[in-house]
Amino acid sequence: MKSRMLLITLVVLSVFSVLPERLYAQTKFDQNLDSPDLTTYIHPDECNQVITRMYTIKRNKYPIWLDTVEFSYDVPPYLRDKEADSVGRACLAKFNIEEFPSEYNYDWAFIYLSVGDTDKFEKLFGSLIDSVEIKNKAELYARFFRDSDYRLHSDLYRKIYAGFLTNIPRDSVLERVGVISAYANAQLKAGNFNDAGVSAIQLMDEIESAPDSVRNSNHFKIVVMISSMQIFLHTTYQEGLDSIRTSTDAYFNYYRGIFRRVMNDSTIDSIPTTIGKKFPDISGDFYFANVGDTVPGEAFDILGRGTPALVIRVDGSCHSSKPLIREGRQWPGQGYCERFAASIRRTMNKFPGLDLVIVSTTFGILGDGSPIAPREEAILLHKYVTDHFGLRGRMVIAETPFHRIQSPDARRVDLPSDMVEKLVASGVGLGSPGAVLLDSDGRVVISSNAYFEEEPKLVDAIRALLAR
C-alpha cells in the first residue's frame, strides 16, 4: 500500500514538474487568456468541477451558450465553454489518475471520449460496466447511447452495442428494452433510419419474447409505452420520415398495432375504468341554467333531471388564443375545438331530447385580451360557447385556482380546480375537449376525449340508451 502511494506521489510530482510550461503554452494557444499560468488556478477539487461542467456542456445540446454567460458572472474565465475544454484536458493531463471517485467515473470517461481518446474511454467504461449490477449496466449503456453522437463515434457505438448484447442476458428484458430503445433513438437522431428500423424490430422481438410474468407487469407496459412513444415521436419529427416509411413501413404498422393494443386493452391498475360508475357531483362557481341566460344564476344539480345526459367539457384552450392561431393559414381546416363543437351540434340535432351539460373553467384571460374578472369571463365564455360554437345547453363554469411564482418572475401557474379533478377521474381528461354520456341514473355509459373521431360509436350508444 505504501509503495503504491509512493508511486502515485512520484507520478504526480513528475507530472507537476513538467506540466506548467506545456499547459501554459497550450492554454495561451487555445484561450488567449491573460492569466500567466493556468495551472495556478487548478486544484484537484476544482478539476472535478471543471470536468463535470465540461461534461454538462458536451452532453447538453443547448446550454453551451447559457453556460458561457453564466460563467462570465460567477466563475473565472477559464470555465467558459471553449476554455473548459482545454482546462478539462489540462486536468486530465495534470492528474493522470485512473481511479476517480466513483460518482465522476462516467463523467471522466465521457470526457476522454469528448477529447477523442476512445481507448481510454473504452477502458474506463469497460471497468465501470464490470463493476456494477445488471440494472446499472443497462443504465450506463443507455446513458452512453443518449449522450454521445453516433455520427462521431460510429465504430465505438457498434462495439459498445455488441458488448451490451453479450453483457446483459436475454432474460433481463426490461433492461434490454430500455437500452435498445436508446440505441434506436440515437440512430434516428443520427439519421440512420434503416439501422433504427432494424433496432426497433429487435426491440419488438425482445418484447414479444418476454416471459408472461414480465409482460403482465405494469412496469413492463409503461416501459414499452415510453420507449414506443419515444421512437414514434422521433420518427414523426425527423426530416427523413419518408425514408422511415419506405424502409420500415411494415414494422411501424405492426408496432403501432401493438402500441394501440397496449393502450386500448389497458388493464393498468392506475387508470381505473369509469364505465358503469356513478358520475361525480360536479359543482362550479357560475351556473347558466337556461340557454337564453346572459348572467350567471342559481346553482343547479347537473344530474337532477333524471334523463340521459351528455356532459361535455369545453377546454380552456378553446377560448384562449393559441388554437385560434392554429386555425390560420398555416393550419388549414377547422380547429380541434370547432370540430368537436360541430360534432356535438350534429349529435344534439339528432337527439333533441338529450340533456346537454357544458362544463368549463376560467383562465383569467380571454384570447389576447387583458386580464378579466372571473364573473365577466364566465359571461363571455357562455356567450362564446352559445354564439360561436352554437351549443345549446346548461353550463357550469368553475374558477381556476392558481399559484404565483415568487417575484420578480411572478408568473401564474394554474392549478386544477375540484371540478377538473373530478372530471379527470371520470374520464374527461385534461388538455382536450371531452364528452361523457350518462344514463338517467347518472352512470357513465361511455366517455371519450376524442368525440368527433368516435362520433358514430357514441351516436350508437346514445340511440341504444334512449331506446331503453
Partner 1 sequence: MNSIETYYRRDEKAERLLSREEAIGIVDEIKAASSPSAGGRLDVRVFSYWANGVRWARNNTSLSNLGREIKVYIGRSKDRFAGTIITNQTDSESVVNATRLAEKIALEVAGDRPLDLPVNRETLESTPSKVWSEGVYNRTPSENAPSIEQVITDAESRGFLAAGYLESYAANVYSFSSDKWGRESTEYHQITQAQFSSTVRHPKGTASGWAGSSAYDFSLMDLGRIASASVEKCIASLDPVRLEPGRYTTILEPAASNTFFSLFLGLMNRVSPESGGAHPFLLGRDFALSRFRSKLGLKIIDERISLYHNPGDPVTGLPEIEGLNKVTLVDKGVLKSLFNYPSHSFQELYNEDISLSRASFTVPGTDVSMDDMISSTSRGLIVTRFSNVHRVDDKSVLFSGFTRDGLWLVENGKITKAVRNFKFTESPLFVLNNLDTVGISELVWNPTKARTELMGHPAYSLQSRVVPSIKVKDFSFTSTIDAI
What is the smallest separation between the CB atom of 298 and partner 1, expressed in angstroms?
A: 26
How far apart CA 198 and CA 239 sit, in angstroms, is 19
Cβ closest to partner 1, residue 219 vs residue 411: 411
Closer residue to partner 1 (CB): 267 or 321: 321
How crowded is residue 186: how many other Cβ atoms within 10 Å of its Cβ? 25
The SS3 of residue 12 is helix
Which helix (H) or strand (E) segment is 412 a member of? strand 412-414
**Distance between CA atoms of 442 and 56, rounded to whole angstroms?**
55
All three cell numbers of 49, joined, read 468541477
Q: How many C-beta atoms surround the C-beta of residue 46 within 10 A?
A: 17
Whether the CB-CB separation of 389 and 401 falls below 8 Å is answered with no
Report how far residue 184's alpha carbon sits from residue 155's, in angstroms, rounded to the nearest whole number: 16
Closest approach, Cβ 149 to partner 1, in A, equals 19
How many other C-beta atoms are found inside a 10 Å radius of the C-beta of residue 264? Answer: 7
The smaller minimum CB distance to partner 1, of residues 266 and 320, is found at 320
Shortest Å distance, C-beta 105 to partner 1? 25
Residues in the chain: 468
- Spatial CB neighbours of 246, under 8 Å, sequence gap ≥ 6: none
CB of 71 to partner 1, least distance (A): 10
| Beta bridge partners of residue 434, listed in sequence order | 313
- Measured from the CB atom, the residue of 257 and 371 that comes closer to partner 1 is 371
Label the pairing between strands 394-398 and 434-438.
unpaired
CB of 72 to partner 1, least distance (A): 6
Quote the least distance from Cβ 211 to partner 1, whole Å: 35
CB of 267 to partner 1, least distance (A): 29
CA 351 to CA 355: how far, in whole Å? 9
Task: Provide the phi-psi class of 256: left if phi over 0, else alpha when psi is between -120 and 50, else beta.
Answer: alpha
Residue 57 or 445 having the CB closest to partner 1 = 57
Cell numbers at 305, concatenated: 333531471
Which chain residues interact with partner 1 by CB under 8 A?
34, 62-66, 68-69, 72-73, 319-321, 324-325, 364-372, 376, 380, 384, 387-388, 402, 405-413
C-alpha cell at 223: 416501459
The CB-side HSE value for 120 (13 A sphere, CA atoms) comes to 19
Cβ closer to partner 1: 381 or 396? 381
Shortest distance, position 77 Cβ to partner 1, whole Å: 9
Query: Which of 66, 222 has the CB closer to partner 1?
Result: 66
Would you say 233 or 373 has its CB closer to partner 1? 373
Nearer to partner 1, 364 or 416 (CB): 364
The minimum distance between CB 431 and partner 1, in angstroms, equals: 12
DSSP 8-state secondary structure symbol assigned to residue 297: B
